[in-house]
Chain A
Amino acid sequence: MNVIRALTQNKVAMFGFAVLLLLSLIAIFGPMLYDGSPWKMVQRPFIPPFANDRFLLGTDTLGRDVLAGLIYGARISLLVGLVSTVIALLIGIPLGAYAGYFGGWVDEILMRFTEVFQTVPSFALAVVLVAIFEPSVYSITGAIAIVSWPPVARLVRGEFLALRNQEYVLAAKLNGQSHRNIILKEILPNSLSPIIVLASLMVATAILLESSLSFLGLGDPEIMSWGYMIGAAKTVIRQAWWLSFIPGVAIAVTVLALNLLGEGLNEALNPKLSGKREH
């Protein structure tokens, strides 16, 4: 297929893809190599990186293995990123599709509803939601999904507005096809590529949001995450800067990889339209 060929020829995108593949493998299989829990206090606190062969990245303020924390943190970061994006798509795509396809008062109502969420700063809203529902991996995923779907809805609406008067759509209408069929089988497949690009960037944003929440102490207290590691180490940043730095690098690399892949997808999916599909 053209898309895959275009993508594989894009070295930068392939680099992002490779990093993500590696991270996924670590997230899936890493915990099998590391038995026990990343919360386990294994050695004296504050061992610097590369000073001890058994604990390659050293230990944190309580003597917990930093490498184990990174591995388990990869799992939660990717999981929250993916699941919350899927939920956001499940909310945003139908809303945008209905608004764009039907237009008129349906469009008005749905877009005003979307704007309610867009006008509140997304991070502030996420903090409030997590605080109200008590921090857990479910409330965090839910909160991130709730603050992330409006851009999806707007994007999909735009696509549908542009496509609904295309000849093949009019033909399907004349054919007597149901609205549902037209939305799902005619228009949606043709607007998928910008959605895929947006989704890849949304995963990156979601990972950042999750890390920020954990950093502020609003993470799931049962789960080791990168944001938590930075938050717990920020108070000792003058004594042990690497405890904040290492998980910080992990977040940066992951988000960068997702962005590179997203850019690559954008170019591969829209070779002719690039520059035109700005939303």
Chain B
Amino acid sequence: MKKIFMGALVACVPLITPIYAAEEGGTINVVVQPEPPSLMIGMYSNATTQQVGGNIFEGLMRYDQDLNPHPLLATSWESSDDGKTWTFHLKEGVTWHDGQPFTSADVVFSIDKLLRETNARLRTSLAHVESIEATDDYTVVFQLKESFGPFIRLFEVGTTPMLPKHIYEGTDYKTNPANHHPIGTGPFKFAEWQKGSYIHLEKNENYHVQGLPHLDDVYWHVIPDAASRAVAFETGKIDVLPGGSVENFDVPRLTELDNTCVTTDGWEFFSPHAWLWLNNRQGPTADVRFRQAVMYAMDREFAKDVLWNGYGKVANSPVGSKTKFYDADLPAYEYNPDKAKQLLKAMGYNGEPVRILPMPYGETWQRWTEVIKQNLEEVGINAKIESTDVAGWNQKVSDWDYDISFTYLYQYGDPALGVARNYISSNIAKGSPWNNAEGYSNAEIDQWFDAAATAFPDEKRQELYSKIQNKLVEDVPVAWLMELEFPTIYNCKVQNLIDSGIGINDAFGTAWIKQ
């Protein structure tokens, strides 16, 4: 007895609907910063590999800004009642850029063979999958070991791109020549890459969505200097500045230019979440009252307004507000220095020095460190800023040699994918600055996270994630700062630029230029 899952019903309306008012043709110039090491999206997870490659390759689904799945290479899907069997129906008549047909064999090969070997993040999720089988040319069945909540959000192009079996099967994936000339099913074909200068993508005339893409060419320009990128946009050489490609302090000036549009949409899937690591093992930060005092001492609204030009949102939960299972009813830590002082007094804080390790990612982060230090000093915390470079920051956080340190990480749409990793005790291990580096250990939390990943249906997951969020907010294992927003700045002649939860990463299939 199978039933069509609610999500699939919603998904029957494709996200990609040709807009008939759109004008055809034209070339678009985009900044790519930094130059990607490769465009082979299945093997390189660099942000810019995703940006360019996401327009060449496609996943089975596309996700809107509420992270709901929509058909792309899969036209529909359904799950069994227990959430353990998932059947995907593929679109017929899709061809690779070299003319070969796209079939279920490509899907099984991409996920079960190639990506399982090359994508560590997907591999972790695939541990919940028992088998992947093609029952006919256009049907793929996933048999899960148990219900796995995030399963439906695994098919984004950056995580699970579809790759051509006829090119990769039986070869060494890493050295396959096609890595230099990627072949996908997407709206754009790879044309040319002048290293250090530009990457040229051209229109896929045989794209499987009728009427798309509208653009003839997309040029991704490599401009290593931030000020030069801003100037290139001002002079009109560049039409689109993806989020984060210019310094924050340049954003207000650029957005005030004539004919310039700005949007913060298109980061919902990643939802970059910034926080302070607080070393739970030693020193004052081991005391929960101290960690709560840090939350009360910080004037996070000020940082948002002054350092981030008002973009973003003060974070009050380990889960981003745009991520699934965020609990909107959590108690918030407001800016309250008096309360911070009381907590410090209650714990008997004696002025022991506390080191702050800034993140060496440029101007904004340096200033942010100064603001936090000042906030902490004003409630009586003896804070000292350490100096470091990128390698030193990685090493100190990985070796747990810090008291307080900045960071920001992606959420990947589901707490089981992007949140649990930073709080469960099985993820306490030296050598990585992206795991449970604060050393928070709570058996109850571990158990809840475990249960929440495999609970079914979503209401049960929500219940568990709400419990988790309430407990974490009380314990303050890390001090959450902000949900970051990186504004995409573009020339207003570009229409319909951002229309998915991964934004610029798959933007150009639907964008068009108003002449």
Measuring CB to CB, which residues of chain A are less than 8 angstroms from any residue of chain B? 37, 39-41, 45, 61-63, 134-135, 217-218, 221-222, 232, 235-236, 238-239
Given known contacts A41-B374, A45-B306, A62-B306, A235 and B363 CB-to-CB distance under 8 angstroms: yes
Given known contacts A62-B306, A222-B385, A236 and B374 CB-to-CB distance under 8 angstroms: no
Given known contacts A37-B377, A45-B306, A62 and B367 CB-to-CB distance under 8 angstroms: yes
| Residues of the B chain whose Cβ atoms lie less than 8 Å from the Cβ of A135 | 387
Whole-angstrom distance between the Cβ of A218 and the nearest chain B Cβ: 8
Closest CB pairs A-B (n = 8): A221-B385, A135-B387, A235-B249, A39-B374, A45-B306, A221-B387, A134-B387, A235-B363
**A contact patch SS:** loop
Are B384 and A222 in contact, CB atoms less than 8 angstroms apart? yes
| Residues of the A chain whose Cβ atoms lie less than 8 Å from the Cβ of B3 | none
Whole-angstrom distance between the Cβ of A58 and the nearest chain B Cβ: 15
| Residues of the A chain whose Cβ atoms lie less than 8 Å from the Cβ of B250 | 235
Does B373 reach chain A (CB closer than 8 Å)? Answer: yes
Are B374 and A61 in contact, CB atoms less than 8 angstroms apart? no
Are B302 and A41 in contact, CB atoms less than 8 angstroms apart? yes
| Residues of the A chain whose Cβ atoms lie less than 8 Å from the Cβ of B378 | 40
Measured CA separation A232–B362 after assembly (Å)? 11
Measured CA separation A39–B385 after assembly (Å)? 13
Are B367 and A61 in contact, CB atoms less than 8 angstroms apart? yes
Are A217 and B366 in contact, CB atoms less than 8 angstroms apart? yes
Does B202 reach chain A (CB closer than 8 Å)? Answer: no
Given known contacts A134-B387, A221-B386, A40 and B306 CB-to-CB distance under 8 angstroms: no
Chain B interfacial residues counted at CB < 8 A = 22
Per-position 1/0 for B340-366, Cβ under 8 A of A: 000000000000000000100001001
Whole-angstrom distance between the Cβ of A36 and the nearest chain B Cβ: 9
Does B23 reach chain A (CB closer than 8 Å)? Answer: no
Whole-angstrom distance between the Cβ of B225 and the nearest chain A Cβ: 13
Does B195 reach chain A (CB closer than 8 Å)? Answer: no
Measured CA separation A39–B369 after assembly (Å)? 12
| Residues of the B chain whose Cβ atoms lie less than 8 Å from the Cβ of A40 | 374, 378
Q: Could you jot down 9 A-B contacts, CB within 8 Å?
A: A37-B374, A37-B377, A39-B370, A61-B249, A61-B367, A218-B387, A222-B384, A235-B249, A235-B250
Measured CA separation A238–B230 after assembly (Å)? 13
Measured CA separation A41–B302 after assembly (Å)? 10
Measured CA separation A110–B398 after assembly (Å)? 46
Within 8 A of A (CB), among B386-434: 386-387
Whole-angstrom distance between the Cβ of A127 and the nearest chain B Cβ: 13
Are A235 and B370 in contact, CB atoms less than 8 angstroms apart? no
| Residues of the B chain whose Cβ atoms lie less than 8 Å from the Cβ of A217 | 366
Query: Chain B residue with minimal CB distance to A39?
Result: B374
| Residues of the A chain whose Cβ atoms lie less than 8 Å from the Cβ of B371 | 41, 62
Measured CA separation A232–B371 after assembly (Å)? 13
Given contacts A41-B371, A221-B387, 8 further A-B contacts (CB under 8 A): A41-B302, A61-B249, A62-B370, A217-B366, A221-B386, A232-B367, A235-B250, A239-B249
Measured CA separation A232–B302 after assembly (Å)? 18
**Which of A41, A221, A239 is the one whose CB lies under 8 Å from B253?**
A239
Per-position 1/0 for B76-117, Cβ under 8 A of A: 000000000000000000000000000000000000000000
| Residues of the B chain whose Cβ atoms lie less than 8 Å from the Cβ of A37 | 374, 377
Measured CA separation A134–B385 after assembly (Å)? 12
| Residues of the B chain whose Cβ atoms lie less than 8 Å from the Cβ of A221 | 358, 369, 385-387
Q: Tell me which of B307, B384, B385, B387 has the highest count of chain A C-beta atoms within 10 A of its own C-beta.
A: B387
Does B247 reach chain A (CB closer than 8 Å)? Answer: yes
Query: Chain A residue with minimal CB distance to B392?
Result: A134
Are B306 and A39 in contact, CB atoms less than 8 angstroms apart? no
Whole-angstrom distance between the Cβ of A31 and the nearest chain B Cβ: 16
Query: Chain B residue with minimal CB distance to A41?
Result: B374
Per-position 1/0 for B169-183, Cβ under 8 A of A: 000000000000000
Measured CA separation A236–B250 after assembly (Å)? 8
Are B249 and A39 in contact, CB atoms less than 8 angstroms apart? no
Measured CA separation A235–B386 after assembly (Å)? 22
Measured CA separation A175–B409 after assembly (Å)? 79
Whole-angstrom distance between the Cβ of A135 and the nearest chain B Cβ: 5
| Residues of the A chain whose Cβ atoms lie less than 8 Å from the Cβ of B369 | 221
Whole-angstrom distance between the Cβ of B44 and the nearest chain A Cβ: 30
Q: Tell me which of A37, A62, A218 has the highest count of chain B C-beta atoms within 10 A of its own C-beta.
A: A62
Are B363 and A238 in contact, CB atoms less than 8 angstroms apart? no
| Residues of the A chain whose Cβ atoms lie less than 8 Å from the Cβ of B377 | 37, 39
Whole-angstrom distance between the Cβ of A271 and the nearest chain B Cβ: 49
Query: Chain A residue with minimal CB distance to B374?
Result: A39
| Residues of the B chain whose Cβ atoms lie less than 8 Å from the Cβ of A238 | 253
Within 8 A of A (CB), among B233-249: 247, 249
| Residues of the A chain whose Cβ atoms lie less than 8 Å from the Cβ of B249 | 61, 235-236, 239
Are A235 and B387 in contact, CB atoms less than 8 angstroms apart? no
Whole-angstrom distance between the Cβ of A234 and the nearest chain B Cβ: 9
| Residues of the A chain whose Cβ atoms lie less than 8 Å from the Cβ of B363 | 235
| Residues of the B chain whose Cβ atoms lie less than 8 Å from the Cβ of A62 | 306-307, 367, 370-371
Measured CA separation A129–B363 after assembly (Å)? 23
Measured CA separation A37–B369 after assembly (Å)? 16
**Which of A39, A63, A232, A235 is the one whose CB lies under 8 Å from B373?**
A39
| Residues of the B chain whose Cβ atoms lie less than 8 Å from the Cβ of A41 | 302, 371, 374
Whole-angstrom distance between the Cβ of A216 and the nearest chain B Cβ: 12
Given known contacts A221-B386, A221-B387, A222-B385, A63 and B370 CB-to-CB distance under 8 angstroms: no
Query: Chain B residue with minimal CB distance to A130?
Result: B387
Measured CA separation A238–B367 after assembly (Å)? 18
| Residues of the A chain whose Cβ atoms lie less than 8 Å from the Cβ of B367 | 61-62, 232
Whole-angstrom distance between the Cβ of B301 and the nearest chain A Cβ: 12
